[in-house]
Amino acid sequence: MKVAVIQMVSGANVDANLQQAHDLLSQAAAQGAELAVLPEYFCLMGQRDADKLAIQEPAGKGPLQQFLADTAKALGLWLVGGTLPLASASTLAAEQGGRVSNSTLVYSPLGLRAARYDKIHLFRFDNGTERYDESVVLIAGSTPVSFDLSSRDGHTWRVGLSVCYDLRFPELYRHYAASGAHLLLVPSAFTFTTGQDHWELLLRARAIENLAFVAAAAQGGLHDNQRRTWGHSMLVDPWGKLLAQQAQDPGVVLAELDFEAMNQCRSRLPALQHRVL
């Protein structure tokens, strides 16, 4: 199955971001991608964290969700929509102290929503110069989510969903592996500071320890708010080998994922069967 991870440098203009995403997704489809993954915050990297509250949508309707559904259908892709801000299912975000869910939505080639995952682990970082605290505007999710994708080569792939900071919590990915996942997705907006030290190392570790493919779509460049993200969108095989990557700037990163090669890795080294705890 050919998979594309889309690297973007999203800014403060939603329409411009959607146009950038559409152009890159069109390139991915033209190159034969069957599954395409957008990065975290593909729709907006605002001047302030709270800017995402202004574009929040209720689950099931809104221009951002319609864009994803229409694009998936028009291009005939399985489309993983990075993340977008969704209002709580039970109440308006204003009643949750002005917070939203940072949600990954998956759409089938028919334009139908196939899965929703709300980011579980919320990033907080303070090195004295850079400070981030996603909990100020985000509500943490609580449930791992996977979906099944029947590929053109006849295989059924189980795909586990995660977002950015989740990458530092291996128990989430072990849960997916124990549930039969073959592919782990990590749409992200890693900071330049943490990314240069940890990004590739963590992605390759999650692939190796779970004998699964990993597809990580990232923000990669200097944004309107002067924040710089690390980029280095990549696809990693179950042995930890980098199949494809791009350092910075918008682009499409493509690779063919071989289901049988994954099974061979798991047969040669049946570590998943040797688990004790």
State yes or no: pLDDT of 50 exceeds 60.
yes
Q: Kindly state the tokens that stand for 18.
A: 């959607």
> d(Cα 45, Cα 274) in Å, to the nearest integer?
43
Residue ranges of the domains in the chain? 2-274
Mean pLDDT of 200-213: 98
Catalytic residue among 34, 43, 164, 265, which? 164
Q: Residue 130: what pLDDT?
A: 87
Angle at 240 between CA 189 and CA 8, to 5 degrees: 25
Q: Residue 93: what pLDDT?
A: 47
Catalytic residue among 40, 43, 52, 134, which? 40
Superfamily (CATH) of domain 2-274: Carbon-nitrogen hydrolase (3.60.110.10)
Known catalytic membership, residue 40 = yes
The reported pTM is: 0.96
Q: Residue 92: what pLDDT?
A: 53
Known catalytic membership, residue 260 = no
Mean pLDDT of 162-167: 98
Q: Kindly state the tokens that stand for 34.
A: 């069957």
Residue spans of alpha helices (H) in the chain: 14-30, 63-75, 170-178, 192-210, 259-268
Q: Give the least confident one: 87-96, 159-168, 255-264.
A: 87-96
State yes or no: pLDDT of 207 exceeds 70.
yes
Catalytic residue among 43, 52, 57, 119, which? 119
State yes or no: pLDDT of 257 exceeds 90.
yes
State yes or no: pLDDT of 252 exceeds 90.
yes
Known catalytic membership, residue 265 = no
Residue spans of alpha helices (H) in 5-156: 14-30, 63-75
